[in-house]
Amino acid sequence: MQFKEHTITQVHENLFEIPQTGAMHKPGRIYASLEMMKSLIDEGEPLQQVINVAHLPGIEKYSLAMPDIHWGYGFPIGGVAATDWQDGVISPGGVGYDINCGVRLASTSLKRGDIDNRLNKLIQDLFRTIPTGLGSSNAIKKLTKQELKKLLQTGVSWIIKQGYGTEHDIEYTEENGCLSWADPSIISERALERGLAQMGTLGSGNHFLEVDVVDKIYDPKAAAAMGLFKEQIVVLIHSGSRGFGYQVCDDYLKIMGKAAQKYNIHLPDRQLASAPIQSNEGKNYLAAMACAANFAWSNRQVIMSLAKRVFMRVFNISDLDLKFNLVYDVSHNIAKKEIHKIDSKEKAVCVHRKGATRAFGPNSPFIPKKYQDIGQPVLIPGDMGRYSFVCTGTEKAVSETFGSACHGAGRLYSRNKAKRMAKGRNLIKEISKMGVIVQARGKGTIAEEMPFAYKDVSDIVDIMHNSGISLKTARLKPLGVIKG
């Protein structure tokens, strides 16, 4: 296969390689089916971004893309790159505007038959309780600046002390819900102002809260370890750092643009603006990004706690009987220092995951003891009409993808094109026919997020499963969704 001047080789059934040529420091690798690869070649832009990322100074092994790849700012969404911690660069384009956008899964003791007659009320009450939409705010008492700075420094442990969740939740959140190098003192006043009233809100776009039923178990051992069983009601939450994280990214893109010139970093796309990790600009971005990551974990923590209260009220059930427990929380847009094997030697690298999920395998010291035998839970949401998946990370992921897997279905059509395609259609009725109740702030969001706008997540998950990167544990079917 040919893409511009690059001859693409097929490594195995679901892995393709763009060879290192010109100013590329490393090859590019894309996990995809043959049909997907042909479509990506026709589309052009996402593959060009994989090539562009391979130009980053200090990049190790490969510029990687997961099968849910689509165009993003700088990096493709679904892109992964690791750069040398001492001599490499950090690029905000490798994290994105919605810093630590991620997903958390909570389990319950309820079964499908327990909720059918109150599902409508449940979705309505969730929609009333958890603010959605662009600029949504005031889910909880507005934080003071001092409180916000404390939260930015310490992450979910602080918000739990305010009554949102339990200590159990810390262990089942990636990085225990806190990047310790966060420094609130370098955050702009504008970012702080935007964050004061947005804690516990979903936001807009592809963010959602779903009430799902576990409709298929693939790996009984892994499912049992996570407390999942067939016909069980679970809750999937997808949100990020809201306007706070957006502002942090926006602030530092300006700084990084100047830093790239200052440090004579030449890249094929200005959206990849970078600074050496060990420079003042690089260190400050990492510290500011960590604040936004801590905000996002806390945000999902509050949303989960509010959802739990709604369940208890709607079903008149006690905390003890509901058993509303966090299974795991994973990040999608983040950059972190990790140790990985490069050329048979362990090395510190900065792993950028942009629309990609960490997928550490069994026996990793960075995952809960409960999951040591099965690997880290990997949560892969689909569209709001079909399925989502729970998977587990593997040793192969650690060796091949810096412990990374896909993060979702991946867009098939842009938001604008999806809106055009939706004209004249009764979208609520279409989703209702799929057995899903939807509450959303606006018709535009529903049009942007309709199932037809996305690839089939089953195809994406199967590529990862068949490649041995993340293994299927369970499939979730949406029953009700709230969106912005």
Please give the domain boundaries of the chain with CATH numbers for all domains: 2-96+340-347 (no CATH), 102-339+348-483 (3.90.1860.10)
Report field, pTM of the whole predicted structure over 0.85: yes
Q: Check: CB of residue 298 under 8 Å from CB of residue 139.
A: no
Cα–Cα distance, 58 to 82 (Å, whole number): 8
The three state secondary structure string of 191-253 is: HHHHHCCCCCCCECCCCEEEEEEEEEECCHHHHHHHCCCCCEEEEEEEECCHHHHHHHHHHHH
Q: Where are the beta strands (DSSP E) in 252-373?
A: 275-276, 325-331, 333-342, 345-354, 357-358
What confidence score (pLDDT) does residue 434 get?
83
Cα–Cα distance, 27 to 70 (Å, whole number): 19
Cα–Cα distance, 434 to 198 (Å, whole number): 32
Q: DSSP readout, 38-100?
A: HHHHHH-HHHHHHHHHTTSTTEEEEEEEEEEEE--SSSPEEEEEEEETTT-EE-GGGT-SSTT
Cα–Cα distance, 429 to 290 (Å, whole number): 41
What confidence score (pLDDT) does residue 229 get?
98
Amino acid code (one letter) for 146: Q
Nearest to 252, CA basis, from 104, 63, 92, 137: 92
Cα–Cα distance, 91 to 70 (Å, whole number): 18
Please name the residue that has the structure tokens 């990492």: 286
What φ, ψ does residue 245 adopt, rounded to 5°? -65, -40
Nearest to 410, CA basis, from 359, 356, 374: 356
Cα–Cα distance, 182 to 58 (Å, whole number): 24
Nearest to 49, CA basis, from 67, 32, 28, 19: 28
Q: Check: CB of residue 464 under 8 Å from CB of residue 401.
A: no
| Residues with catalytic function | 407
What confidence score (pLDDT) does residue 249 get?
96
- Cβ neighbours of 185 (radius 10 Å): 10
Dihedral (CA of 290, 291, 296, 299) sign: positive
Query: For every one of its 484 residues, what pLDDT tens digit does the chain have, with 9 covering 90 and above?
Result: 999 999 999 999 999 999 999 999 999 999 999 999 999 999 999 999 999 999 999 999 999 999 999 999 999 999 999 999 999 999 999 999 999 999 999 999 999 999 999 999 999 999 999 988 878 888 999 999 999 999 999 999 999 999 999 999 999 999 999 999 999 999 999 999 999 999 999 988 789 999 999 999 999 999 999 999 999 999 999 999 999 999 999 999 999 999 999 999 999 999 999 999 999 999 999 999 999 999 999 999 999 999 999 999 999 999 999 999 999 999 999 999 999 999 999 999 999 999 999 999 999 999 999 999 999 999 999 987 789 999 999 999 999 999 999 999 877 778 788 888 888 787 778 888 888 898 887 777 778 777 778 888 999 999 999 999 999 999 999 999 998 7
Cα-atom radius of gyration of the chain, to the nearest Å? 21
What tokens were used for 234?
Answer: 């679970």
Q: Check: CB of residue 28 under 8 Å from CB of residue 17.
A: yes
